[in-house]
Structure 1
C-alpha cells in the first residue's frame, strides 16, 4: 500500500514508521489513522521485522493531537463511532501487536498524540517533549484510551491531575512519573531508540510475543494464568530449544 501521510523505513529487523504531516504538527486525521493501521498490519505480518519505532517528522512534534476540524460538527453517535473505530483500528492494535513498538516522542505529544504514545510498549522522549491531555479545555475527555492507559502508567491520582488540569509536562517530568522510560537530547533520541530496538531484536521473537500478551493482562485476574500458560507453551517451541542449547554451549542464540 502506498502512503501519503506516513513514511516507513526498514533497517535490518527494525521498521521505522514516521507520521509525516509537518504542516499540521503531525496531527491525527482519519486518513493518517487508516494508514497507520495498515502499516502496523503489515509490520505484524512481516516475519523479517522484529521491532517497530513510531515517531513524527520534524523536530517539533510527535503528534500534536487529533485533527479537530474533522469532527467539530459530529453528533454523539458519530463521536462514539470515531472513538471506537480509532481504538479498534489503531490504538488497541498497537498495544496488542505481536512485536514491540517503541514511541520516539520528539516534541509535542498532546491529546491523541499522547494516547498514541501510551499505546506503544515503550516510550523514549526528547528533552524538548511536551506531553498532555488537553481535551477538557474543549469540553471533551480523551477518547482514544487516555483515561484507561494513563492511570495504569502513572497511577490514578497523577492521571486525574493531568486529565483534569489539561497541563503539559516536560519529558523529564514524564520520566519521573513513569510516563516516559528515558529522556534524551533530541539528536540522540532516534539513535537511542535504534540501540534499544537492536537489542530487543536479538532476543526470541516467540518469547517476546508471549510476553507482550502476558504483560497486557497484568492488571487483570487473568494475568497470572496467561503467564503460566505461555511459559508452558514456550517449552514446545523452537526458540526455547535454541536458547537453552546456546546457553549450555556458551554461545549467543540465533533466533
Structure 2
C-alpha cells in the first residue's frame, strides 16, 4: 500500500470518518509528514515556474504530481502558466513509467481561480480567442491522456480552474472547496470545455442552472451532484487522492489504459459499437505478460508485480 506499508496509520486514513476528530487530526498530521518525507523533491520539468512536475519514489513510483504554483494570484492561468501546463502534460504523456497523475496546488486553500483577468484586460479580442482556444485544447489533451488523472481540490476551483478539474477522470475535494463557473457574470461563457463536460457529469438541467446563474457550490454539494467523487475534511484531499492513486498504481498499467479508452470512447458511440470497442480493448490484453502475472499472483496468493507489458 505504498509508503505506509499497510500500517495502522494507513488503515486509519481509509476509515478516518469513524475516528474521533483529535485522533484523526493527529493521524493526518503524521501521515502528511511521512508522505512529504518520501516524496521526491526533484523538479522533473522547468517549463514554467508556476507549474511543477514531481515524481513520487520508492513504492509510489509510477505516481506523478503536477503542482500549480502562482500564489500571488490564486493560481490564475496566464500565458506563461498555460505554456507550462502544455509542456508539462506533453512530458507526462511521453513518460512510459507513469501510471497515474494528480493535479494539485502548492498554494494553500486554493486550487485554481481561473483565467488571469488582469492579463485578459490587456488582450485584444483575437488574442483572447487564441488564448481560450489553447486552453480548451490543453484541457482536451489532459482528458485524452492514456493514464488516469485525479484533480485534488482544496479551496477555490472557479472558471478555468473548474474546467481543468472537469477534464480529469476523478475529482477529490475538501469540505471548504468552492466550485463554480462564473463566466456569465462577465458576459461570456465557459469556453474551455465547461459547457460540455459539466452536463456530462451532472446532467443537462443542473449544468444549465449552474452556468446560467454562475452559482458557486461547496464541496458537499458538489459530491451530492456527482461533480466530485469524494469530499473529505478540509486539508485531507491530497491524502485521499494519494490513497486512490496508490490503489490505481497497483493495477495492470496496460489494463488501466484500455479501461480508460473503452469508457471514454464508448460513451460517445452507440451500444453495439461500444461493445465492439470493449472487445477490441480486451483482446489487446490477452497476450500481455501482466495478464499471466495476475493469474499467477492470484494462484500463489501474493501481490502481483506488473511491468506494463
TM-score interval w.r.t. the shorter chain? Answer: over 0.9
CA contact (8 A) 1:96 1:212 kept: no
Q: RMSD in angstroms over aligned alpha carbons? A: 1.6
Among 94, 110, 116, the residue aligned to 1:67: 116
**Alpha-carbon spacing, 1:206–1:146, altered in 2? closer, same or farther (3 Å):** same
Q: In structure 2, what is the Cα distance between the partners aligned to 1:251 and 1:55?
A: 33
Q: For structure 2, list consecutive stretches of 5 or more residues without a partner in the other structure.
A: 1-44
Q: Deviations over 1:126-150 (max 9, x none)?
A: 1110000000000000011000000
Question: Which residue of the partner structure matches residue 58 of structure 1?
Answer: 107
Deviation at 1:193, TM superposition (A): 1.1
Question: Which residue of the partner structure matches residue 205 of structure 1?
Answer: 253
State the SS of the aligned residue for 2:267: coil
State the SS of the aligned residue for 2:251: coil
State the SS of the aligned residue for 1:217: helix
Normalising by structure 1, report the TM-score: 0.94
Q: In structure 2, what is the Cα distance between the partners aligned to 1:5 and 1:52?
A: 17
Structure number with higher relative contact order (C-alpha < 8 Å, ≥ 6 residues apart): 1
Query: Rg: which structure is higher?
Result: 2
CA contact (8 A) 2:68 2:107 kept: no
**How many residues are paired up?**
254
Q: In structure 2, what is the Cα distance between the partners aligned to 1:107 and 1:223?
A: 37
Q: Deviations over 1:87-112 (max 9, x none)?
A: 22x20111111211110001100000
Question: Which residue of the partner structure matches residue 8 of structure 1?
Answer: 53
Q: In structure 2, what is the Cα distance between the partners aligned to 1:218 and 1:76?
A: 37
**Alpha-carbon spacing, 1:170–1:247, altered in 2? closer, same or farther (3 Å):** same
CA contact (8 A) 2:67 2:105 kept: yes
Q: In structure 2, what is the Cα distance between the partners aligned to 1:244 and 1:215?
A: 24
The answer to which of 179-188 and 222-231 deviates more is: 222-231
Among 284, 297, 301, the residue aligned to 1:233: 284
Q: Deviations over 1:162-203 (max 9, x none)?
A: 000100000100000000100112232211111111111000
Among 107, 126, 133, the residue aligned to 2:181: 133
Deviation at 1:77, TM superposition (A): 4.2
Q: In structure 2, what is the Cα distance between the partners aligned to 1:131 and 1:247?
A: 42
Normalising by structure 2, report the TM-score: 0.78
Question: Which residue of the partner structure matches residue 35 of structure 1?
Answer: 84
Question: Which residue of the partner structure matches residue 250 of structure 1?
Answer: 301
